[in-house]
């Protein structure tokens, strides 16, 4: 059975269109309860549990058995995913640091999952590091923002975080 923590995770993501669409398909009364009073976590959890119990009580019927098996299988997969990849079920805040590069104050974005550190061409000019860019190390970087060519690599600079 699903713990209150799982319901809380879903409740916290109710503003997401994909979550709402999924609930509209599978549990429309739960979505209605949320829309009626989005601040009432207790009513949301109770309605969700009622819906799940309705599905389980159908177990005497053939479709109920199938539904119960699917529910158990889904719950097992969800539980495993939450154990192995908890970061996929929560919003992770963006981390920005006040830093100094070559004596110039900048706001740096810390991407803990990045394979390399990058700096924009504008920031390179602002920090007066154009001469520090070694153009022999040009690469093409691809990520969430698309593909971009780098101007090169800065091998060393003075920075304070």
Number of helices (H) and strands (E) in the chain: give both, helices first.
6, 7
* 64 within 8 A of 77, measured Cβ to Cβ: no
| Domains and their CATH numbers in the chain | 4-89 (no CATH), 95-160 (2.40.70.10)
> What mean pLDDT value characterizes the chain?
79
Task: Map residue 91 onto helix, strand or coil.
Answer: coil
Task: Please list the active-site residues.
Answer: 111
More confident residue, 90 or 129: 129
pLDDT of residue 61: 63
- Note the pLDDT tens digit of each residue in 47-98: 877 887 777 666 566 665 666 677 778 777 877 887 788 777 777 778 899 9
Given a cut of 80, whether residue 138 has pLDDT beyond it is yes
pLDDT of residue 34: 85
The neighbour count for residue 115, using CB atoms within 10 Å, is: 8
Provide the percentage of residues in the chain whose pLDDT is more than 90. 5
Given a cut of 60, whether residue 1 has pLDDT beyond it is no
- Note the pLDDT tens digit of each residue in 15-51: 888 888 888 888 888 888 888 888 877 777 778 778 8
Say what the pTM is. Answer: 0.42
CA torsion angle for 12, 17, 19, 20 (degrees, to 10)? 100
Question: What is the C-alpha separation between 101 and 160, in angstroms, rounded?
Answer: 7
More confident residue, 113 or 127: 127
pLDDT classification of 105: cutoffs 50, 70, 90: very high
pLDDT of residue 5: 65
């Amino acid at each position: 059975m699903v713990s209150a923590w799982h319901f809380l995770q879903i409740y916290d993501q109710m503003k997401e269109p994909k979550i709402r669409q999924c609930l509209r398909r599978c549990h429309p009364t739960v979505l209605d309860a949320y829309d009626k009073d989005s601040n009432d976590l207790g009513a949301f959890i109770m309605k969700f549990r009622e819906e799940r119990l309705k599905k389980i009580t159908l177990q005497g019927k053939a479709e109920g058995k199938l539904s119960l098996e699917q529910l158990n299988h889904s719950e097992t997969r969800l539980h495993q995913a939450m154990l192995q990849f908890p970061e996929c079920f929560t919003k992770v805040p963006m981390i920005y640091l006040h830093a100094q590069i070559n004596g110039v104050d900048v706001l740096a974005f810390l991407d803990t999952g990045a394979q390399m550190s990058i700096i924009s061409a504008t920031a390179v000019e602002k920090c007066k590091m154009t001469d520090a860019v070694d153009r022999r190390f040009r690469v093409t970087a691809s990520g969430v923002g698309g593909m971009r060519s780098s101007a090169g690599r800065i091998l060393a600079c003075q920075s304070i975080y």
